[in-house]
Amino acid sequence: MASENRQGDEQGYFRISVRGTEGDNLPLEEVTKFLYEFNLLYEMSRLVVDPRYEAHKITQATSSRVVNRLWANDKLYLEKLSVNSPLDLNLILNATEVALTAIGVVLTAIGLRRSLGSQGSNEVSFSRQEAASPEQEGHGIVFADSGLQLRLPPSDGDFREKLQIRKATKHFEREQARLNESPERVEEVTITYTRETQRRGR
């Protein structure tokens, strides 16, 4: 398990910038709920799409705050958080193909699509407005310096089949609904790849 836990260390990382809705200040409890549900949806998606977690049983208890769901190098890490209106959040994630797939599942689940003209060599944006054409969306987004590819939306039929096999459909849909019902609404996400090794304050 230790060797698997180190997977991705030398492949660089993704910076995931999350921008929320303009609006009034929210109660702190709503912000903390949003952060928890966003992270939980990613971790549950990762459990489903990452073959290394095939033996992990997804149950009601999976969403518990005291459960350690992923190995350390597969988790999202906080780089910056500004709780002014709108929410401004920067996350760090070790760069692997399966990590991108899990993030793609989350972005699709909250209704984001690749932005028109957003493709850069190592950066791509997703939003609720100015979506790319179906032809553009159908092509994989390749981060040039890594060769890693993301499709958004991911193959929905494939993911749903995996959910059914893992008996996790109701658990995933519950967390998806909770995140989408949050008063803190994600409007834009930008993913940037860098070759550097992920740094964590540990």
Q: Pick the residue with more confidence: 91 or 9?
A: 91
pLDDT digits 0-9 by tens, 106-151: 999 999 988 865 555 788 888 987 655 555 555 567 787 777 877 6
Secondary structure in 3-state letters for 76-143 = CEEEEEECCCCCEEEEEEECCHHHHHHHHHHHHHCCCEEECCCCCCCEEEEECCCECCHHHHHCCEEE
Across 99-103, 174-178, 198-202, least confident range: 198-202
Q: Which helix (H) or strand (E) holds 172?
A: helix 169-180
Q: Which pLDDT value is given to residue 110?
A: 93
Q: Chain-wide mean pLDDT for the chain?
A: 83
| 3-state secondary structure at position 9 | coil
Q: Which pLDDT value is given to residue 114?
A: 83
b/e for 167-184, b at 16 or more Cβ within 10 A?
Answer: ebeebbeebbebbeebeb
Residues facing 107 on adjacent strands: none
Across 22-26, 61-65, 84-88, 134-138, least confident range: 134-138
Q: Which pLDDT value is given to residue 54?
A: 93
Domain spans, the chain: 2-194
